[in-house]
Structure 1
Amino acid sequence: MDARQKPARRPPPPPVETFSPRSGDLDALPPRVAEMRERILVATRSGDIERLRPAIEWNETLPLFARGDDRPRSFATVIDFLKRYSFDGHGREILALLQAAFENDYVKSTRGSTVSYIWPHFAAVQKPDPTADERLAMYRCVRFANLALTNDIGLPLMQRAGIGEDGTWHYFLAG
C-alpha cells in the first residue's frame, strides 16, 4: 500500500438490539404507543376487520403485514389483503391474533437510538423451554396456516407486533 493511501474504512457494525425485561405495565408505555395499542384492541374486540382501518391509516406509512411480492402496498388494499391472509377469509383470525398479542406482556426494544415496543414479549425474547402455560399463550399467537411451522429453536412461528416509541405501528408479522 502506498504510504499516501488511506486504508478503506469499513462501515460500523449495526447497533445491537437489546430488550427490557417483560412488562405488563401499560402506564409505563409512551402515550402514543398506548393510544395505538388501544386503537388496535378496540378494532379487534369489534369482530369487524374494517374497524382496524383507522389504526392502520393513523400511520404515515403502511405497517408491514407480510413479506414478499403479495404484501399490501397501499392503504386502499390492506383490508382486502388481511381478509385473504386470514384463514376464515373475513379477517377474524387476524383480529384474534392481534388481540392475543396485545393482551400479553411486551418488551421495549432498543437498537441504537431506535426504540420500539414488541408484543407479545415471548415472540421477541424466546426461551427454549417454555412452561405449558407459556406454550399455550404462544399458540394463541400463531396463524392457523403456520401451526406446523417452528423457528430455529423449535418454538411455534408466532405473530408479533411492533410499535415505535412515537406511536407508529411498524409491523404485525410471523417470525
Structure 2
Amino acid sequence: MNLLLVLVVAVSALVHVAGADANAGGGEPVKLPPHVEDLRDVILTAARSGNIDELKTAFEVSGIVPDLGIEPGSDPIKALKERSGDHEGREILAALVETLNMPPVALPLGNDIENNLIYVWPYLAERPLDKLTPAEEVDLYRLVTPAKAQEMREKKQWLWWRLVIAADGSWTSFKRAN
C-alpha cells in the first residue's frame, strides 16, 4: 500500500513539473497541432543524436529546408557546420535542443482560418526583454549568458536563436539574430 502511495505522489510530481515547464513564463500552455508536435520531435531527435547530418530527416519531414540565414542554394548542413563553434555542428544542435526545450508562443500569421498560426521557439523571442518576470529571466539565463542578456535588453532586440514551425508542420526558419 505504501509503495502505491509513493508511486502516485511521484507521478503527480512529474505531471506538475511537466506542466510547469510547458507554462514557463506564466503564459498559457500552447497546444501544438499534431504536425507541429511531430516535426518538433523529429528535430529534437536529430539534434540529440549529435550528428548534424540527421537534420536532413527533419528537412524531409518538413518538406522544405528552413530559412537558416544562409545564401540560397547553399548546402544547409555544410553552412551550419561552418557557423558552429566546433565546426561539427554540435553547438548548433545544442542550441536546437535548448530552444525546443522552451515553450513556444503561437502567433497569428495570414488569413487562413485553419492554418494561420506559427509557433515560435523560444517564447522569449516574442517577449519585451525589459519586462520579463523573474521566471522568464531564469529561462533567459538558461539560454544566454548574462552579458548577452544585457546586450539584448540594451538593443531591445532578440539576439539568439529563433525557430519557427508553421501550423501545417513546415519548418520555416531557424536563425540567430546578430
Give the TM-score normalised by structure 2: 0.70
Q: CA RMSD in A?
A: 2.6
2:32 counterpart letter in structure 1: L
Query: What does residue range 1-175 of structure 1 map to in structure 2 within 5 Å?
Result: 22-24=27-29, 28-66=31-69, 71-74=70-73, 77-113=75-111, 114-130=116-132, 131=134, 132-139=137-144, 150=152, 153-154=155-156, 157-175=159-177
Q: CA 1:54–1:23 in 2, change beyond 3 Å: closer, same or farther?
A: farther
Percent identity (aligned) = 29
Aligned length: 143
Report runs of 4+ in structure 1 exceeding 3 Å deviation.
21-25, 129-132, 146-156
Q: Please identify the structure whose Cα radius of gyration is greater.
A: 1
Aligned equivalents of 1:55, 1:87: Cα separation in 2? 22
Question: Whose helix proportion is higher, 1 or 2?
Answer: 2
1:158 counterpart letter in structure 2: W
Q: CA 1:137–1:159 in 2, change beyond 3 Å: closer, same or farther?
A: same
Q: CA 1:22–1:52 in 2, change beyond 3 Å: closer, same or farther?
A: farther
Deviations 1:11-54 (A, max 9, x none): xxxxxxxxxx84555xx211000000000000111111111111
Question: What displacement does 1:163 show?
Answer: 0.2
Do the aligned residues in 1 keep the contact of 2:129 with 2:153 (CA within 8 Å)? no
Structure 2: which 5+ residue stretches go unaligned?
A: 1-25
